[in-house]
Structure 1
């Protein structure tokens, strides 16, 4: 049996990884979000892979993409190969005595405000686990970035991944006791005289004032932070009030560093989820981290 010399060239692994993500998600932009690269970079990688293979993998119609017959065949094998590689890497780590390493991905705000205060608690419960925290805003690629588990904020739908519900949350006005006293915040309408940090979420000040029946006219302008940690630091510095998220502020409220002057809350549109590839084999260390995360979130927001 003869073999074409071209078949002996190294496989374009990065291109295959990008192709697998685009095929699985059905969209170049979502594939880029998962891999932490731009949509144009995904398109370029796919184009280079198609040129390398000498065949079209997708039919394109504007933003819509569909696999060709050849793309379907390659997709099936690429998914299988990537899954096998991940399983093999886990086996290698176990053989080298490194199966206790668990890499957990989460948003920087969740890492700083939810996990960091619980670091000692986790360490005491799991002295043998070498936990690595990957804090990033992009949707990580589990295979490419060596991620075992991820805490994500959304509606619970990530194609190709298993998602376990962790907790819902509410948002409500919060500030420090000093700020409330200085600005005489006694009634909901008093907040209209305060500096308001505007949230980077679906729920905003207009929604909250509407529930309270406050005629707002024009809500005062204020800064908008893309990261909850920065917003919280400004509030704890007695600079403003914000719509605090219950899961990220529970310890500051309990300690009295923050107060919620009014009882009215808004249900957040998104929830917290534990996400991981469904094909990953059971691992004692990963299972221990998973169980600890589930229990820790239940303590903040009990699951009914």
Structure 2
């Protein structure tokens, strides 16, 4: 057994983290050569790091008998504790990396269901490393207390207290199922007098649309549903005609679930905004989500 003499101030100096890492790898791998391959350094580099650590600690960590190498009891105790400590360290690093890739995005339930959900696969393909979490809510979220990073807001102007990027505008037009349009003979705006008019809570309403269509006396409106998603689903199910927001009905029209019987439309008074707190630091993942949303709204 080789005697190891402590260096000056060895009882006070803290050994370099690299030396501890090299020793732990050597003890775990059962030799200097294997440890060197794992760490990307030479066998002699491992040997030198271990020797310097032994000198600093004043303790033999390995027994050297020619080419044979074995860990001393003191080395075994140190290696076991280092292995546990490094495991916690690498786990913390992984958690930090994961947290940088997590983005919580808030939006209206109707936007989440009718616009974002059909594009989810495209988002994942374009951003495989981002853990996107959607919160669908009709209330204005508190970013700090609810842990939300950003939101898609539907409002006439950008919120003054938030950093805002305009995503896009839309138009409003009547939509219904093809069967409903055929069964009720919806060929001209005046034909809507025999239709059931589904009502929502957007600023654009049926009287405004009938006025734009040149009809002086709009018919009585039908059921009022507070959520655009529910209104559009009722229209898909043949329950009546809804005033559809173009962003939310585009996929339904493209697939034939809904049709727009008339060319008359209204310009929406509201727009879509990507918003986040002004005092909150951004991350590459948040910026990537914003860029993807901007691109989607430009299509």
Both proteins in one fold, TM over 0.5: yes
1: distance between equivalents of 2:182 and 2:117? 30
1: distance between equivalents of 2:131 and 2:154? 24
Match of 1:32 in 2: none
1: distance between equivalents of 2:100 and 2:274? 20
1:244 corresponds to 2:250: no
* Offset from partner CA, 1:246-288 (integer Å, 9 cap, x none): 0100111111221111111101111110000122223111111
> In the superposition, relative to structure 1, how do residues 298 and 96 fare at CA in structure 2: closer, same or farther (>3 Å)?
closer
1:123 corresponds to 2:124: yes
Q: Secondary structure at the match of 2:99?
A: coil
Match of 1:175 in 2: 176
What is the TM-score when the length of structure 1 is the normalising length? 0.65
Q: Secondary structure at the match of 2:133?
A: strand
Contact 1:167–1:298 (Cα < 8 Å) also in 2: yes
1:280 corresponds to 2:241: no
Q: Which runs of 5+ in 2 are unaligned?
A: 1-92
Point out 4+ residue stretches in structure 1 off by more than 3 angstroms: 92-97
Q: Which runs of 5+ in 1 are unaligned?
A: 1-91, 300-304
Contact 2:149–2:286 (Cα < 8 Å) also in 1: yes
Match of 1:223 in 2: 223
Q: Secondary structure at the match of 2:135?
A: strand
* Offset from partner CA, 1:107-154 (integer Å, 9 cap, x none): 111111111011111111111100011111110111111111100000
* Offset from partner CA, 1:49-93 (integer Å, 9 cap, x none): xxxxxxxxxxxxxxxxxxxxxxxxxxxxxxxxxxxxxxxxxxx99
Name the Cα RMSD after superposition. Answer: 1.8
> In the superposition, relative to structure 1, how do residues 193 and 126 fare at CA in structure 2: closer, same or farther (>3 Å)?
same
Q: Secondary structure at the match of 2:296?
A: helix
